[in-house]
Amino acid sequence: MTLSTTTNGAQMSCEALTVLFDGACPLCRREVGVYQALKPAQPVAWLDVSKASVPLTLEDRARYLARFHVRREDGSLLSGAAAFVALWRVMPGWRWLARLAMLPGATPVLERLYRGFLRVRPGIQRLARACDTSHLPAGLVADLRSDHAGETGAVWIYRGMLCVTRDETVRKFARQHLDTELQHLQTMSALLPPLRRSWLLVAWRVAGFATGALPAVFGRRAVFATVAAVETFVVQHYAHQIEALTAQAGQAALRQVLVDCQRDEAAHRIEAQAHLAHPPGAFLAGWCTAVGRGSALAVTLARRV
């Protein structure tokens, strides 16, 4: 792609524009999304220069990713403040800003401000990426937060068990399950950016540790009954989300992730139940009920915070 460059914002025309933006940057994506929702006075094309499918030399791509650019119909290129002004001129609701920016001396001031912004942009981009959930269905972010919290708790359940028990059967069981839960946690961590995770992760670690360590004090029956109770709840928890995603188009990959996690949790439950020769007594059954209710309360909290 060959593009000529001009920095003379005063010579801008209101011809069709092509906006060159960094679609890999959540800040740029959000801003462009605001403009794309409007009906411009002139045709505007949108070119995501972060896409490898857009043919650009390495040098040009780096240049367009580093600063905001628009290309006018005659092929000339504007960047920085001049590019914004050109775009604002054709955007309903933004023309007043373009008129202000075109007052004598205003565009250079805007350009200075833009350069100042570029200096802090990497930090703001990191923050925005740590919050960005645009790749997820909006209605499922809270559920995924509870999944991430739950998998955190699950990891610490087995760590709690391993800290207390010397029973080799339980230790083998706990080590195997810990490996799976660490994989689940890794999967959830990849899906959910850091600033969208539960703010109560320390509490979920402590609660998980206690839920694993306490029954381990009482022996293997208590351990297996506890795991069966937790996994019964977790299988149901995933089932609701899988059902919700089944109705949504384009979410097959995310749905499959949850199906895979649910399949592992169901296997954990079956394995734990297989170790229980007979149903738990009244005390253990009461503990298992408390574990199920505690899990439900944790999900309610983790969905919110």
Q: How many residues does the chain have?
A: 305
Amino acid in the structure at residue 255 = R
Position 181 contacts Fe ion (CB under 5 A)? yes
Closest to 190 (Cα-Cα) out of 245, 129, 247: 129
Instruction: Tell me whether residue 63 or residue 237 sits nearer to Fe ion (CB atom).
Output: 237
Q: Which of 49, 83, 154, 222 binds Fe ion (CB under 5 A)?
A: 154
Q: Which of 22, 143, 147, 265 binds Fe ion (CB under 5 A)?
A: 265
Pairing type for strands 69-72 and 17-21 reads antiparallel
Q: Which of 29, 61, 184, 205 binds Fe ion (CB under 5 A)?
A: 184
Reported as half-sphere exposure (CB side, CA atoms, 13 A), residue 305 has a value of 7
Minimum gap (Å) between residue 299 Cβ and Fe ion: 13
* Interacting span for Fe ion (CB under 5 A) from 150-158, 163-171, 275-283, 297-305: 150-158
The owner of tokens 């080799």 is 168
CB atoms near residue 239 (< 10 Å): 14
Position 147 contacts Fe ion (CB under 5 A)? no
Position 213 contacts Fe ion (CB under 5 A)? no
Q: What would the x/- binding string for Fe ion be over residues 9 to 38, using CB under 5 A?
A: ------------------------------
Q: Which residue is nearest to Fe ion (CB)?
A: 184
Instruction: Tell me whether residue 89 or residue 184 sits nearer to Fe ion (CB atom).
Output: 184
* Interacting span for Fe ion (CB under 5 A) from 161-169, 180-188, 217-225, 288-296: 180-188
Instruction: Tell me whether residue 184 or residue 197 sits nearer to Fe ion (CB atom).
Output: 184
Dump the DSSP string for 11-49. Answer: G---S-EEEEE-TTSHHHHHHHHHHHTS--SS-EEEEET
Report the alpha-carbon distance of residue 228 to residue 251 in Å, rounded.
30
In degrees to the nearest 10, what's the CA dihedral of 251, 256, 259, 261?
A: -110
Q: Which of 65, 132, 268, 302 binds Fe ion (CB under 5 A)?
A: 268
Contact residues for Fe ion (CB under 5 A)? 151, 154, 181, 184, 265, 268
